[in-house]
């Protein structure tokens, strides 16, 4: 077998010989036969000199060329819809990249370079393809984020990118447009998602497509928690194969980058549009560990290189190849991260790159034997220390003051580079004693067996945000998705194919189940999307996850292709037997009937629930034709499923609110109930983070102001809508006005806590309406010249103008809490005074305003017309309560610049939003709730009723691994020794966990091992609390308040 593989006797080093033999076992697809006379050898492009060996650098290391006819033959054999510009190949002992060159002769030619030839081989003349260039998305990772942060990119940039990613992936679970975009960009499944949606099929409510969405979503969330993989927008970054410029136009420091469209837009176009990137770009190659591994280049537009798409072209000249500057890479198939997002471009110049050794491995003494190969393989397994070195580098980069520039980090980065080449050189490296970390940051999750600390760098901030999200949605499924049949796919006469469809379904499911069982994959969606989050480690203990996903992708692709071939071959045979192969109309009719039969038997309510629904979508293009011919009445479409579920509960009187069915009050009541259930509203115990009602009303006011709500004046709530007395008492406590003779109005603010009640005198000049009858009314007239507070128009710039009649200490009305009256009133105005909503047909607006007649004379009140009484049904033109609630959740996530201290009187525990975005904070709770709603479609996550037969239980109480905490404070040491039960009760009360167990251990120093029981986010809040340096002072005072108010407070 070794003789058939090639001649390796010319390789005198056992490590290199084993690596070359392993080249024959690469996962490839046999493509095109290339005879020897069709192969040309061309010299490498060399220049510069290595600073140690003085050998010239090879700029074309590993990259050759192919003619257009050869490339077209490869496309045809591999059935490639798009025509890649470059392919990674194996050919007769050669390996590397081939880039299409239109300037080569118009005949089948393969151009190889000496750097590509690894060993002689005469047993095969087939060109084997490993991978092809294609549009690939980019995700940031921990090493790259660490380097960028310490190169000067602000932490807020990464937090914003992560929040945007979470919102984008969560929206895809409930929004068709986002679902199509996410599946087209991330799921490795070639289906006409865009065509299905345009034909009227709702992906987000179908069990199969929802399983794909959940697979992509869970894979993304798990990647955030364990690897901090932040997906970048595909129009701002790409993963690209690297090639060299053969035209000589690129100078040192310049690159050429051209990318094709990807996602929904690309799928609906025959040939996706291409875009040439110009300006500064950020380029790196993973793994990146050294400060010089991440570099900035200038991307230029060069017409002579326009034939290269979805690749980065490096110059072939300069004092050193750019790929070698980045982790010592080459161009034999390495992928490069290319980013042109401006916020990620670090300030200043590129750092000096690391110098990598280019010496050849030393030859072995004597002839290499089989025993030598076996011994090397054993040494390779024993010395695989890259993981240990990488963890040490990440830990030191986080805790060292100099970070990645520290002596330890630079030394470990060099050792990792040596270990990465162990398979070729046989050289390895180990950590010295002083290079082994004693402490690990919390985001590395080593607290069960190592001492952890709370990381204050950006990786710690990102980790603590996303882990609570994963805990909230990790156990939720899609039980609420209706698996019923879509009437639009019920083609009359499909029953004639029912028995054949059942047989084909059984065969397909058997083959698919075999794939799932082989790798222990949990769900059909994960396998079909090739986004495997859960798999059987017993079967894959030594398997690389990415390689496994590649294999699963090929297996599922083969399954769908063969199933599709069966569909058309059976149909063609049937038509030929009946002499109807030339009858276009009959062929189309039977094709649709057969596709309908495949769908109907798969989604039949009488079929056992196997959880497998992908079978009919092997012929998705035919089902699209069926959908296009269906009537609108047969199609089901719910543009906003979350809002509809909430509104249905309201319509069925499942959410009683005293005071009528006004959407604004109903939405506020639901929000208040939700926050109370999350222990965020009010303080059930001293020290528990919470908001007072006055601050909540301010948040609600800001939310309504930001939405630019606009609808018919006839549907707005006017001054005749009186609040019920019970609601006034419970929500806002608006006081009665004084007598007409006094002319003053005393407003008692909304916070019901006694220490937060503040009175403010509003002079009569601020209330033109004057009388007590106008005081309690919603929309009471306030003079715009005098008062521009919560009752003012929203569509302006949002600044609050000073009032000359207010005392200077009361210039800003936001210093006091608004009433619910004023909050609702402030959102009502003439549509002409507001910005209209985007009416793009591709958008999914929550609601759209409709035109209406002009208001009657005498009814205008600053643009607001007198509306029906409070108990009147809401107008069709105004947003529903469900719409407002869902919008409020998203607004809390998008509106990151929240006030740092909402409550002006400091009654809100923790000072409102100030602090570290704990799981108890409003943005984090909103994120967790919105994600849980999107995943489960279960309104009970808002504290609303749910059908018990459909209800998914909230996350169960669990016991987590223990956490080791060092005790360096002598006073805290004594406190734990003498009053450990008191400490336990404080921790339970502050975090909400059910139980806390503290055990003392002595191991060259004092530390405690803490074990707790509760929900995941409660336990994680406890873990973060234990890592705070001010915890001993907080326990001594029995309160968290002053420590949460001051960010990062650390008292010695």
- 241: nearest Cα among 341, 312, 188, 135: 312
- Tell me: pLDDT of 316 over 90: yes
Query: What is this structure's pTM?
Result: 0.78
Task: Give 855 or 922, the one with higher predicted confidence.
Answer: 922
439: helix, strand or coil: strand
Residues 640 and 910: beta-carbon distance below 8 Å: no
Task: Give 681 or 164, the one with higher predicted confidence.
Answer: 164
What's the pLDDT score for residue 564? 95
Q: Are strands 237-244 and 311-314 parallel, antiparallel or unpaired?
A: parallel
What's the pLDDT score for residue 927? 84
Task: Give 252 or 758, the one with higher predicted confidence.
Answer: 252
- Tell me: pLDDT of 808 over 80: no
- 695: nearest Cα among 899, 514, 892: 899
- Tell me: pLDDT of 97 over 80: yes
CATH architecture of 958-1045: 2-Layer Sandwich (3.30)
Task: Give 582 or 636, the one with higher predicted confidence.
Answer: 582
Predicted confidence (pLDDT) per residue in 438-473, tens digit: 889 989 988 777 888 888 899 998 988 787 677 666
Answer yes or no: same fold for 139-154+229-344 and 958-1045. no
- Tell me: pLDDT of 550 over 50: yes
Q: At 268, is the pLDDT very low, low, confident or very high (cuts 50, 70, 90)?
A: low
Q: Which residues of 571-591 are buried (b: 16+ CB within 10 A; e: fewer)?
A: beebbeeeeeeeeeeebeebb
- Tell me: pLDDT of 146 over 80: yes
> What value does the mean pLDDT take over residues 575-603?
92
- Tell me: pLDDT of 874 over 50: no
> What value does the mean pLDDT take over residues 420-425?
73
- Tell me: pLDDT of 140 over 70: yes
> What value does the mean pLDDT take over residues 125-135?
90
1026: helix, strand or coil: helix
Q: Which range scores top for mean pLDDT: 171-185, 371-385, 1034-1048?
A: 171-185
Task: Give 820 or 174, the one with higher predicted confidence.
Answer: 174
Q: At 20, is the pLDDT very low, low, confident or very high (cuts 50, 70, 90)?
A: confident
What's the pLDDT score for residue 297? 97
> What value does the mean pLDDT take over residues 162-190?
90
Rounded to an integer, what is the distance from CA 511 to the centroid of its chain? 32
Task: Give 875 or 1019, the one with higher predicted confidence.
Answer: 1019
Q: Which range scores top for mean pLDDT: 19-28, 315-324, 534-543, 904-913?
A: 315-324
- Tell me: pLDDT of 987 over 50: yes
What's the pLDDT score for residue 959? 75
**Which residues, other chains included, contact 277 with Cβ-Cβ below 8 Å and sequence gap of 6+?**
257, 258, 259, 299, 338, 340
Q: Which CATH number is correct for 139-154+229-344, 2.40.40.20, 3.90.79.10, 3.60.150.10, 3.20.20.80?
A: 2.40.40.20
Please identify which residue in the block is written with the tokens 């690391």: 354
Q: At 514, is the pLDDT very low, low, confident or very high (cuts 50, 70, 90)?
A: very high
- Tell me: pLDDT of 729 over 50: no
Q: At 711, is the pLDDT very low, low, confident or very high (cuts 50, 70, 90)?
A: very low
Predicted confidence (pLDDT) per residue in 619-666, tens digit: 999 999 999 999 888 887 787 888 988 888 888 776 665 545 688 888
In the chain, % of residues over pLDDT 70: 72
Residues 204 and 194: beta-carbon distance below 8 Å: no
Look up residue 742 and give its DSSP letter: T
What's the pLDDT score for residue 743? 32
Q: At 238, is the pLDDT very low, low, confident or very high (cuts 50, 70, 90)?
A: very high
Predicted confidence (pLDDT) per residue in 100-116, tens digit: 999 999 999 999 999 99
- 719: nearest Cα among 779, 790, 767: 779
- Structural domain boundaries of the chain? 2-132, 139-154+229-344, 483-507+544-606+614-635, 643-835+856-942, 958-1045
> Using CA of residue 715, residue 718, residue 720, residue 722, what is the dihedral sign?
positive
Q: At 1010, is the pLDDT very low, low, confident or very high (cuts 50, 70, 90)?
A: confident
Q: At 1034, is the pLDDT very low, low, confident or very high (cuts 50, 70, 90)?
A: confident
946's tokens: 């749910």
> Mean pLDDT over all residues of the chain?
76
Indicate the angle between helix axes 155-171 and 142-150, nearest 10 degrees. 140
Task: Give 279 or 821, the one with higher predicted confidence.
Answer: 279
- Tell me: pLDDT of 80 over 50: yes
Distance in angstroms (rounded) separating the CA atoms of residues 1019 and 605: 41
What's the pLDDT score for residue 209? 94
Distances (CA, A) of 610 to 205, 490, 513, 798: 18, 22, 10, 55
Q: H/E element holding 1044?
A: helix 1041-1045
What's the pLDDT score for residue 195? 92
- Tell me: pLDDT of 280 over 90: yes
């Amino acid at each position: 077998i070794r003789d058939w593989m090639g001649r390796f006797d010319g390789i005198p080093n056992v490590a290199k010989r084993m690596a070359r033999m392993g080249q024959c076992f690469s996962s490839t697809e046999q493509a095109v036969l290339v005879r020897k006379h069709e192969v040309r050898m061309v010299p490498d492009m060399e220049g510069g000199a290595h600073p140690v060996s003085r050998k010239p650098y090879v700029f074309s290391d590993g990259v050759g060329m192919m003619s257009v006819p050869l490339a077209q033959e490869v496309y045809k054999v591999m059935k490639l819809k798009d025509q890649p510009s470059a392919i990674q190949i194996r050919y007769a002992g050669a390996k590397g990249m081939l880039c299409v060159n239109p300037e080569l002769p118009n005949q089948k030619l393969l151009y190889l370079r000496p750097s590509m030839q690894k060993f002689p081989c005469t047993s095969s003349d087939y060109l084997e393809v490993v991978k092809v260039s294609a549009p690939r998305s980019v995700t940031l990772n921990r090493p790259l984020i660490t380097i960028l942060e310490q190169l000067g990119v602000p932490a807020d940039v990464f937090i914003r990118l992560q929040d945007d990613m979470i919102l984008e992936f969560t929206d895809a679970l409930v929004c068709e447009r986002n679902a199509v975009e996410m599946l087209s960009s991330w799921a490795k499944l070639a289906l006409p998602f865009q065509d299905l949606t345009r034909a009227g099929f709702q992906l987000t409510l179908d069990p199969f497509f929802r399983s794909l969405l959940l697979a992509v979503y869970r894979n993304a969330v798990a990647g955030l928690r364990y690897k901090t993989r932040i997906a970048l927008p595909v129009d701002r970054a790409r993963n690209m194969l690297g090639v060299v410029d053969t035209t000589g136009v690129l100078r040192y420091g310049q690159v050429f980058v051209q990318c094709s469209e990807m996602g929904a837009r690309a799928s609906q176009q025959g040939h996706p549009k291409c875009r040439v990137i110009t300006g500064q770009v950020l380029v790196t190659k993973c793994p990146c560990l050294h400060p010089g591994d991440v570099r900035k280049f200038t991307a230029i537009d060069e017409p002579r290189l326009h034939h290269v798409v979805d690749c980065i072209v490096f110059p072939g000249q300069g004092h050193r190849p750019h790929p070698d500057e980045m982790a010592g890479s080459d161009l034999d198939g390495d992928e490069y991260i290319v980013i042109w997002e401006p916020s990620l471009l670090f300030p200043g110049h590129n750092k000096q790159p690391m110098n990598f050794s280019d010496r050849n491995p030393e030859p072995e003494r004597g002839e290499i034997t089989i025993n030598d190969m076996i011994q090397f393989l054993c040494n390779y397994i024993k010395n695989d220390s890259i993981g240990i070195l990488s963890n040490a580098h990440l830990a030191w980069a986080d805790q060292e003051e100099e970070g990645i520039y520290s002596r330890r980090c630079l030394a470990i980065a060099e050792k990792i580079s040596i270990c990465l080449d162990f398979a070729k050189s046989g050289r390895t490296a180990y950590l010295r004693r002083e290079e082994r970390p004693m402490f690990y940051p919390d985001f590395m999750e080593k607290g069960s067996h190592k001492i952890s600390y709370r990381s204050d760098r950006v990786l710690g901030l990102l980790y603590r945000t996303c882990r609570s999200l994963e805990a909230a949605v990790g156990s939720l499924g899609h039980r609420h998705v209706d698996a019923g049949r879509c009437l639009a796919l019920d083609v009359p006469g499909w029953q004639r194919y029912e028995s054949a469809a059942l047989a084909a379904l059984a065969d397909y499911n058997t083959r698919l189940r075999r794939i799932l069982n082989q790798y222990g994959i949990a769900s059909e969606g994960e396998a079909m999307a090739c986004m495997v989050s859960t798999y059987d480690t017993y079967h894959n203990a030594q398997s690389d996850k990415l390689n496994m996903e590649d294999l699963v992708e090929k297996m599922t692709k083969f399954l769908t292709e063969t199933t599709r071939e069966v569909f058309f071959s059976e149909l063609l045979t049937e038509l030929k037997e009946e002499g109807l192969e030339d009858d276009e109309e009959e062929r189309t009719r039977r094709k649709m009937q057969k596709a309908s039969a495949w769908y109907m038997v798969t989604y039949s309510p009488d079929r056992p629930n196997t959880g497998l629904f992908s079978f009919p979508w092997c012929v998705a293009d035919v089902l699209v034709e069926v959908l296009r011919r269906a009537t609108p009445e047969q199609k089901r479409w719910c543009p906003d499923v979350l809002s509809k579920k909430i509104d249905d509960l309201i319509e069925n009187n499942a959410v009683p609110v005293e005071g009528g069915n006004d959407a604004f009050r109903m939405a506020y009541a639901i929000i208040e109930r939700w926050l109370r259930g999350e222990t965020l509203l009010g303080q059930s115990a001293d020290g528990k983070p919470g908001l007072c009602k006055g601050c909540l009303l301010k948040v609600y006011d800001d939310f309504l102001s930001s939405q630019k709500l606009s609808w018919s004046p006839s549907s707005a709530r006017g001054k005749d809508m009186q609040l019920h007395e019970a609601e006034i008492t419970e929500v806002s406590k608006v006081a009665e006005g004084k007598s007409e003779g006094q002319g003053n109005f005393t407003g008692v603010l909304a916070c019901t806590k006694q220490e937060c009640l503040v009175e403010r005198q509003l002079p009569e000049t601020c209330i033109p309406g004057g009388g007590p009858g106008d005081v309690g009314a919603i929309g009471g007239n306030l003079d715009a010249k005098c008062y521009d507070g919560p009752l003012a128009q929203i569509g302006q710039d949002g600044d609050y103008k000073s009032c000359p009649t207010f005392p200077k200490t009361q210039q800003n009305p936001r210093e006091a809490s608004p009433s619910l009256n004023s909050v609702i009133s402030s959102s009502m105005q003439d549509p002409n005074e507001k910005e209209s909503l985007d009416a793009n047909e591709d958008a999914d607006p929550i609601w759209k305003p409709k035109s209406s007649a002009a208001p009657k004379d005498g009814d205008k009140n600053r643009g607001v017309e007198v509306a029906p009484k409070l108990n009147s049904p809401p107008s069709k033109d105004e947003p529903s309560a469900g719409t407002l609630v869902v919008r409020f959740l998203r607004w809390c996530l998008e509106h990151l610049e929240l006030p740092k201290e909402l409550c002006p009187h400091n009654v809100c525990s923790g000072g409102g939003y100030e602090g570290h975005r704990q799981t108890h904070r409003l943005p984090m709770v909103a994120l967790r709730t919105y994600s849980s709603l999107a995943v489960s479609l279960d309104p009970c996550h808002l504290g609303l009723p749910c059908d018990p037969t459909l209800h998914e239980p909230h996350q169960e109480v669990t016991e987590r691994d223990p956490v080791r905490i060092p005790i360096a404070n002598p006073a805290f040491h004594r406190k734990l020794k003498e009053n450990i039960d008191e400490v336990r009760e404080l921790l339970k009360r502050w975090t909400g966990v059910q139980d806390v167990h503290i055990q003392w251990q002595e191991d060259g120093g004092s530390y405690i091992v803490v074990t707790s029981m509760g929900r995941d986010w409660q336990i994680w809040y406890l873990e973060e609390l234990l890592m705070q340096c001010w915890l001993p002072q907080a326990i001594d005072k029995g309160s968290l308040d002053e420590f949460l108010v001051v960010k990062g407070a650390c008292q010695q």
